[in-house]
Amino acid sequence: MKRRDFVKFLGVTPGALAGSGSLADAQERLFENLLRPKQQDPADMWVVHQTTCTECPAGCGVLVKGREGRPVKLEGDPDHPINRGGLCMRGQASLGRLYHQERLREPLARGADGSWEPISWNAALDRISNALVESRGGSRNVYLSSRTTGSLAQLLDEFAASLNVERLPDLELFSYGALREAYDVLFGRREVPAYHVEEADLLVTVGADLFESFISPVRFARHVSEGLEHHLDWYHLEPQLTMTGTNAGHRIHLHAGSEQWLLAYLLKSAQPRSPLPARVLDAVPDVTIEQAFARTGVTPEQLQGLVAAWDAAEHPLVIAGGVSTAHAGGLPTALLAGLLQESSGAIGNLVDFGEAENYDSVGTPGELVDRVVDLASANVGVCFLSRLHTLAPVAGLQEVAGSAVLTVGLTDFLYPPTEACDLLLPISHSLESWGDVETYRGLTSVVRPAFTPLFDTVAEGDILLHLMAAPGNWEDYVARQWQAAGADVEEQPFLERPTRPVSTRLRAAPTADRLASSWTPDTLEEPVLAFSPSVRFFDGRSQVISLLNEIPDPLTAVSYGWALSISEDDAMMQSVEEGHVVQVSALGSEDFFPVRVHPAFDFAVLSLGMEHAATAALPIDANTGELIRCIGGVELGRVRDSAVLTVLSGSMDASGRGVLPNDVHHPPGVEAHEPGHEPRRLYPTPEHETYRWAMAIDLDKCTGCSACVAACYVENNISIAGPDEHRKGREMSWIRIQPYLDGDRPIEFMPVMCQQCGNAPCETVCPVYATYHNPDGLNAQVYNRCVGTRYCANNCPYKARRFNWFAGQRPEPMDLLVNPDVSVRPKGVMEKCTFCVQRIREAKDHAKDEDRIVLDGEFTTACAQSCPSGAIVFGNLLDENSEVYRWAHSENVHRILEGLGTEPAVYYLRQDNRGDTGHE
Amino acid sequence: MSDTNRRWEFEDEHEFLEKLKELVDQGTPTERLDVITPIPVPATEEILKMKRSPLRFFTLAGALTGLSLGFAFTIFTVMDWPIITGGKPLVSLPPFLIIAFALTILLGSLASFAGFLILGKMPSISKIQNPIEHENMFIIMLEDEAAQ
Amino acid sequence: MKGASVLPAVVGGVVFVVLALLTSDASVLPALLMVAAVVQGLYAIAAAAHLAEGRWILPARKTILSLHPLLLLLPIAFLAYSKNISVYSWTEHPTFWLSPVFFIARNVVMLLITWGLAFGFSRAALCGSERASMLAVLYAFAFVFNQSFIAFDWVMSFDYPWISTLFGGYFFIEAMFLGLATLSFLGMRLMAQGKAERGKTFMDTSTFLFGWSLLWAGQLFAQFLVIWYGNIPEEQLFLVRRIVDSPLRQMAVCIPLFLFVIPFTTLLSRAAKASNVVMTVIATLVFIGVFIERLLFIIPVAHMNAIVVVLALAALGGPFGYVLKQGVDEEEVTAGPV
Amino acid sequence: MSSPRAYFEKLEIDVLAAMGKPSIGYLIALAVSATCFVVGMGLWGYQMLFGMGVAGIRHPVGWGVYITDFVFWVGIAHSGTLISAVLFLFRAKFRSRFNRSAEAMTIFAVMTAGLFPLIHLGRSWFAYWLFPYPNQRELWVNFRSPLVWDVFAVSTYLTVSAVFFFVGLVPDLAVVRGRAEGIRKKIYAAFSLGWIGSAKQWIHYNQLYIFLAALATPLVISVHSVVSWDFAMSIVPGWHTTIFAPYFVAGAIFSGTAMVLTLMIPMRKILKLEDHINIGHFESLAKILLFTSLIVGYAYAVEFALAFYSGHTFEIAHFTYRLLGDYWALYALMVFSNVLLPLALFVKKLRRNIPFLFVLSIFVNIGMWLERFVIIVTSLSKEYDPYSWGTYVPSMVEVGITIGSFGLFFTLFLIFTKVLPVLAITEVKETAL
């Protein structure tokens, strides 16, 4: 897909603001100058802007596809170095934040009775200015925000300096405290380096949830899937099951808190490539294989296998992170991982400090606690809380904020922190405002407004500038920053600076000392409560987005609400059943959790989504200042009552049913129906002339991340059903990630959508021709002809059809988030995946104008486009040079329920017994 | 008195039949004889030498029309706008047979009913206005020549 | 009369057994299927008539009720045939249901039970005891299950794992179809010998044949449509093998023609129902049609030797015909019309 | 016996007496049924207003109580024409005692059944799209769809049954005419089409009646076969099986005959027709009940056995689920009412025991409703893809509409007993001799 072919940029003439001019009319002028796509482009033309996703700190590049002056779809920017076209489900769904009904629409001030009352921007800002002036009398002003980089970080420092505001370290739940501390100890670099997994041939991840929330999930997904191409061998060791774990060739469960023992064993038993100083080695306890087994629970065979693989590998790479560095043993784990990287010669290439993530301004919760203690004694004047969805991790912070003379919240939702605020300033969404993000050293990407703000919101930068009474507006400020860097913010979507290789030297003495001091002999007492990374909600900040709640968690298949996932054995021992609402001792809080009993989960580990950590006050690790995400010795309290979980999976056992590409059951002596081979019939399967649209999905590459699902929802205007409907199994998703238990991996993920059958059982039974087989091989669905007999759905063996039980709800302004190319289905009609027929039509029209047929890769479906690991290809099966043809005719190809003779157009690829040992 | 407009009533079927036979044997023209019975009496048909009802031809005609119409109709529609569903042939005779069957029965019965009304000269306004009640008697009526 | 019917049965049985032992394919199966169908079918009709107090069977009643020795012949014949059980491909991978021992055992037992009940019923009916009705009911059960299992085991399991739940029902409908055709023959012979005069009940037999042809067509269509429409390769293979690939595929058309189209259309007319010529033709067509169908079922999946097929048919069909002839000849003049 | 005429007169008086002034009990019954019907229609309106979601049906169980009711009522409709036509052809005398009410029942049941395909549509207001006419773009209906076959089969069935019913009525309407007064006389006169019972009328009449019977008989078979094919044409395990057509036909006759008993036993008492309908007549119905129940039992057995015989994963899984799964209790009750309990009819004493027959008929009605429910729901709730499994529980709306359908049926039937002779007077006369 050639982006340049269709990308159109906003032409914005910098509207110089009279320094004195009020902010309101500054806004006016700025956005008058923004072009209004409605006028410049016909309504049926897509307007595409390049910008950067800010839903999480990863900073992926996105293309904003707009129609009629409103963005309706986000897609990964194929040129962006981080994601190269992929985009995770949070990114896809982030439009749901922009159009959220509960978004703050105007400045609010706390009324006498404590309720929120509207207030004008000028009044609000004047109040702040006055408060700042008053605070000169000895009281301290503080500014706390979530991770801030690039121009805004710059401006914040200036703001702090000019208005005597202390800028507190940025608050992030994922602060990578242990890693940064460890690298500081080892090499004097308090940083999160870049891990180039794509260049490794052996990857050993210890708790690092590469695909959920660790540093940059989309990039990792792409790199790992590239790695698989050249047979990357991947060992993943973790205490509790994660989506990442299910994808590793070898997924090994170890006892929570025993990671340092395993790494120590590995360090001692593997041949070092570049030998470590004796002093350091002495600090590492000698661990025999028996001890290692006893501590970690990893069998000697597995241990030996791991060591063997490590020694055999040319470029082994070990990454510690996630829950494994978020407990008392976190620092030694991180240290040992660093030492292994050093000894395997990975530092400097595979582990690259040159492209280290920019976490300069981010503090650990631990650091913040110290600051709070110090602030608690002082009297706080103005307290700014910017872009924060929680203060819970930092004990006492809420109180400090509450006690301040004036607490100002810069936010888009009434997140819990706003309870401490006196004044709320609604900040524009990143699609409504300028800015930039320095994700890692050497890469800054532009945040560029795609359209005029929906509500009376202002960019954080403009607020600061106004308070500073500085000339020019935020856009100019950003532009100046870029000019200084010799770039043009109008033209360039991102700026890559050459990075200098960083020379590192292992600091033996501090390493040895710190290892010795931080070494914790005892592992956590089981059962352990672990806060699993959430691919849906990151650290909880994304939970406000309704779409993300609608899409089930890939592991548990639970959509709405929290659930405590436990293994079947635990359920038996604790004598609880699925749906029981229980108390968890460790949390102490009055929170109760419905139990999800899951056969694939590990014994003696209870896992809870990370989003819950955003509300619970978790303990903090003294060594690293990081949140503790593994709590030992928990007990399940009393069962309060029973709840119906919104589990969207009827059953995870598909053995012998021919759904998964594993052995299809056939009675003895009956040979399986061999793929691609057309069986004898009483009448032939329809032929196709020019096109037979088809899809191929590589299950080895599919991580289960559900980005495709989110993409499909947004692209096709699929309505949100909500929890009550989900309990009745009435979800509307056109594509779903089906989790299956299958000896091969802990969980197999299988994206299933309408299979566009050649002999579609659904078509014949429709009395009114509302669905039929079109000449391109699509199983067309004519919404306005459908009378809603639901016969087609009954007769679809893939259950890919969705019925509109009610009229879909789109609370204003969500009604703006509608793809005008796709009709919104009324109540009572059937709907389903159409292979994004609107895109097909667009491409065919375009081809027709140029009087040719559609070229391979000229366009693709929303799901395929969004897939971070490139597991889905779409195209014309009749074109023998097409990618999909190659995939569909490769080895180990399989179609679901092939024995039924429906001749589906969706092909699934999977190596048999990938990862010889499967999940241990 | 002459044999015109005579009317005999019997309580008993057999007496009635005997009288009827007698009349016919006497050479009374059968077309001048009419009988009214509360229940069907097949014997009268033989005595009066009535021809078998031609109703069956209505039935046959109706049924055949239905059959052919059923196929013609279904085949015409799929040809008129050929739409492939489920990989079935456009002209799917097995399903169409079901439609044809239904129409065969439908038109067959309607035609028979129509035939009944036509042959039995019903509904008959005059008989509706002043009907003849048999009052559970077996009645023989002899019309005079004038009535012919 | 018993002796008269036992002797040929024994002879025919011996010939059949020899044939079965000499061959190692399915050549003797069609004959076995035909005779099993027609004899059990006739008894079923007798039982039904007994229960419904149908008078129309009276003239030929004795004859039919003297057929039970032939039913005893079936288990023996089947045992002989089951020596060639390897013609069923499932014998290579036996399952619980389809294991040679169970297969043979259950069929022999069922054939014996059917014979026993038929025997008992004949005795009771002829000496007019009350137990006849009860035995008639029991026989009806036995008949239904036996024909079903003949369908499922002897024929359907050739195409394992293909199944058609109606197959059993289809078989016993056909068995009674053959029975009715035979009854029609008997009626005509009785009339020819002046032991009965043409009357309502002969018409009834014809009318039954007429109705049965429609019923049969329904059963056939019910199965065909489901398979045709479902378009599941495994199921369609059954039909494809027989009406697309089979060497006999041209003859396949005879089946609906002989068993439905011709009987139904001709018997629409009242005159045809009364005519000996027509009824002879129709009854014969029914026999031929069913036999072709049996062949068609087996040919694509098992080897058969044409001569042996014919000889086997003669071996079992001969005694059958003979016994009927004897029976009719020995019937004394019955009161009332046929 | 006294002279036939005396008997004829008595018969007429007795039967027409039943058409006399309604009793209080009658009026209450009528009011109750009518109310149920109105409430049911109200719920339908509510469903159309808010969407199909108010019913319990869900993904993947797209069909539930509504289709169950449809099949149930079509089934009820079957005995009418069976008793009339088939037994007429078999010259079974006892039919004359039941055919009138049975045929009326047929018509009302088909009307009731006809409602459900509309009710279960997601967009009922577009129901007319199912009828064979070309829309603005000259798109016709899909004749390959079993639902279109339904449209043809059911409407044909309604028409033919109505004609058959009316033809049978003509001589009786003449009888009523003879005894009626004033405006009623005129009305009945008009509807009796000027029937006087002359030989010229009888000869055509007899022919017509035979032909209608001959045409209606295959129709009875075909209609419920078509209904069964709504399921058998699919590829859903538990639905896609060849035995369905005869199996459903037998089931239909079974349930229909049961409904005849349920209605006739009280009616005989209330309308004081004991002299004309005796236990022997009921015994004959009991025999039909027994016979059809045996066929149904055979079908249950074969379905189950062959699933395991074949060794198909899906078939085995499905029937195991049907037997032991979420709906096991319904399945058990169904087998008891439809197969085990009717076996009692082998006992002559019970065959002739009217209270027992009444109780049995109720069980059979319930059992047959459950049969359809079990077949539809268990098959859909656990199909091929385990991810899309789910169990279905009917909502109050569905229950209400079902009760409403009974309301409609009984309203119509009660009205019938007052405006038309509930016994086929002329035929009873005929068979009485």
pLDDT at site D433: 65
| Contacts of residue D237, Cβ cutoff 8 Å, sequence gap at least 6 | D312, D314, D315, D317, D318, D379, D383, D384
Does B88 contact C231 at a Cβ distance shorter than 8 Å? yes
Confidence category of residue A327, pLDDT binned at 50, 70, 90: very high
d(CA D427, CA D93): 9
**Residue A744 predicted with pLDDT over 60:** yes
**Residue A447 predicted with pLDDT over 60:** yes
Q: What would the pLDDT profile of D209-236 be if each residue is shown by its tens digit?
A: 999 999 999 999 999 999 999 999 999 9
**Residue C217 predicted with pLDDT over 90:** yes
d(CA D398, CA D40): 9
**Residue D47 predicted with pLDDT over 70:** yes
Calculate how close chain C gets to A495, using CA atoms only, in Å: 58
Calculate how close chain C gets to D242, using CA atoms only, in Å: 5
3-state secondary structure at position C11: helix
DSSP annotation of D132 = S
Chains that contact A by 3+ CB pairs under 8 Å?
B, C, D
Average pLDDT, stretch A306-321?
Answer: 95
Confidence category of residue A667, pLDDT binned at 50, 70, 90: very low
Closest partner residue to A654 (CB to CB) among D57, D383, D386 is D386
pLDDT at site A40: 45
Calculate how close chain C gets to D362, using CA atoms only, in Å: 26
**Three-state SS annotation for A629-671:** CEECCCCEEEEEEECCCCECCCCCECCCCCCCCCCCCCCCCCC
Does A767 contact D390 at a Cβ distance shorter than 8 Å? no
Q: What's at C210, amino acid-wise?
A: F
- C139 vs A36 pLDDT, higher one: C139
Average pLDDT, stretch C292-307?
Answer: 93
Closest partner residue to C226 (CB to CB) among D232, D302, D303 is D232
pLDDT at site C130: 85
d(CA A653, CA B59): 59
| Torsions phi, psi for A752 (to 5 deg) | -125, 125
pLDDT at site C338: 47
Cα-based torsion angle of the residue sequence A394, A395, A401, A402 in order, rounded to the nearest 10 degrees: 150
Taking one residue from A and the other from C, the number of pairs with CB-CB distance under 8 angstroms is 47
**Residue A671 predicted with pLDDT over 90:** no
Does A682 contact C160 at a Cβ distance shorter than 8 Å? no
d(CA A266, CA C194): 107
Q: What would the pLDDT profile of A449-501 be if each residue is shown by its tens digit?
A: 988 899 999 999 999 999 999 988 999 999 999 999 888 888 888 999 888 88
Average pLDDT, stretch A82-101?
Answer: 95
> How many other CB atoms are there within 10 angstroms of residue B60's CB atom?
15
**Residue C336 predicted with pLDDT over 70:** no
- Smallest CA-to-CA distance from A445 within A416, A487, A405, A474 is with A487
Q: What would the pLDDT profile of D326-376 be if each residue is shown by its tens digit?
A: 999 999 999 999 999 999 999 999 999 999 999 999 999 999 999 999 999
Closest-CA residue in chain B for D140? B77
Does C236 contact A669 at a Cβ distance shorter than 8 Å? no
Does B112 contact D192 at a Cβ distance shorter than 8 Å? no
**Residue C335 predicted with pLDDT over 70:** no
Q: What would the pLDDT profile of C111-129 be if each residue is shown by its tens digit?
A: 999 999 999 999 998 888 8
* pLDDT above 90 coverage of chain B, percent: 54
| Contacts of residue A645, Cβ cutoff 8 Å, sequence gap at least 6 | A558, A561, A563, A578, A579, A594, A596
Strands of A537-692, DSSP E: 564-566, 580-584, 592-597, 605-609, 630-631, 636-642
Residues of C with CB under 8 A from a CB of D: 95, 97-98, 137, 144, 148, 152, 160-169, 214-215, 218-219, 222-223, 225-227, 229-232
pLDDT at site A220: 96
* pLDDT above 70 coverage of chain A, percent: 92
In chain A, how many H helices and how many E strands? 30, 38
Which chain C residues are Cβ-neighbours of B86 within 8 angstroms?
A: 231
pLDDT at site A743: 65
Average pLDDT, stretch D92-102?
Answer: 89
Q: Which spans in A270-411 are helix H?
A: 278-283, 289-296, 300-312, 330-343, 365-377, 397-403
User: Exposed, middle or buried: residue A484 (CB in 10 Å: 0-12, 13-18, 19+)?
Assistant: exposed
Confidence category of residue D143, pLDDT binned at 50, 70, 90: very high
Mean pLDDT of chain D: 93
Q: What would the pLDDT profile of A855-903 be if each residue is shown by its tens digit?
A: 999 999 999 999 999 999 999 999 999 999 999 998 888 889 888 889 9
Does A773 contact B88 at a Cβ distance shorter than 8 Å? no
Does A669 contact C239 at a Cβ distance shorter than 8 Å? no
Confidence category of residue C6, pLDDT binned at 50, 70, 90: confident
Average pLDDT, stretch C287-291?
Answer: 96
- Smallest CA-to-CA distance from D109 within D417, D419, D405 is with D405
Mean pLDDT of chain C: 90
Mutate to test the interface with B, among A692, A762, A763 (most CBs of B within 10 A): A763
Confidence category of residue A591, pLDDT binned at 50, 70, 90: confident
Calculate how close chain B gets to C129, using CA atoms only, in Å: 38
Average pLDDT, stretch C250-256?
Answer: 90
Q: Burial code of D311-326, b = ≥16 C-beta within 10 A, e = fewer?
A: bbbbbbbbbebbeebe
pLDDT at site C200: 74
Average pLDDT, stretch D112-116?
Answer: 96
Q: What would the pLDDT profile of A822-841 be if each residue is shown by its tens digit?
A: 999 999 999 999 999 999 99
pLDDT at site A664: 47
- Cβ atoms A380, A404 nearer than 8 A: yes
pLDDT at site A29: 52
Average pLDDT, stretch A712-729?
Answer: 94
Does B84 contact A772 at a Cβ distance shorter than 8 Å? yes
pLDDT at site C69: 87
Calculate how close chain A gets to D59, using CA atoms only, in Å: 6
Calculate how close chain B gets to D10, using CA atoms only, in Å: 11
**Residue D26 predicted with pLDDT over 90:** yes
Confidence category of residue C8, pLDDT binned at 50, 70, 90: confident
* pLDDT above 70 coverage of chain C, percent: 95
- D329 vs A641 pLDDT, higher one: D329
* Angle, CA of D420, D423 and D426, to the nearest 5°: 100
pLDDT at site C191: 86
**Residue A43 predicted with pLDDT over 60:** no
Which structure tokens are listed for A520? Answer: 């914790």
d(CA A47, CA A30): 20
Average pLDDT, stretch A173-180?
Answer: 94
ipTM (interface pTM): 0.93
* pLDDT above 90 coverage of chain A, percent: 75
Average pLDDT, stretch A279-302?
Answer: 93
Closest-CA residue in chain A for C244? A682
Average pLDDT, stretch A623-628?
Answer: 92
Average pLDDT, stretch C22-49?
Answer: 94
Confidence category of residue B27, pLDDT binned at 50, 70, 90: confident
**Residue A665 predicted with pLDDT over 60:** no
Q: What would the pLDDT profile of D148-196 be if each residue is shown by its tens digit?
A: 999 999 999 999 999 999 999 999 999 999 998 889 999 999 999 999 9
pLDDT at site C58: 64
- Cβ atoms A596, A645 nearer than 8 A: yes
**Residue C55 predicted with pLDDT over 70:** no
- A320 vs A37 pLDDT, higher one: A320
C-alpha pair distances (Å), A449 with each of A70, A390, A632, B120, D300: 11, 26, 47, 88, 67
What strand order describes the sheet that includes B33-36? B6-10, B138-142, B33-36
Confidence category of residue D86, pLDDT binned at 50, 70, 90: confident
Mutate to test the interface with C, among D229, D242, D247, D283 (most CBs of C within 10 A): D242
Does C229 contact B95 at a Cβ distance shorter than 8 Å? yes
Calculate how close chain D gets to A803, using CA atoms only, in Å: 8
Mean pLDDT of chain A: 89
Strand partners, A531: A608
Average pLDDT, stretch D233-257?
Answer: 95
A890 vs C: CB within 8 A: no
pLDDT at site B132: 84
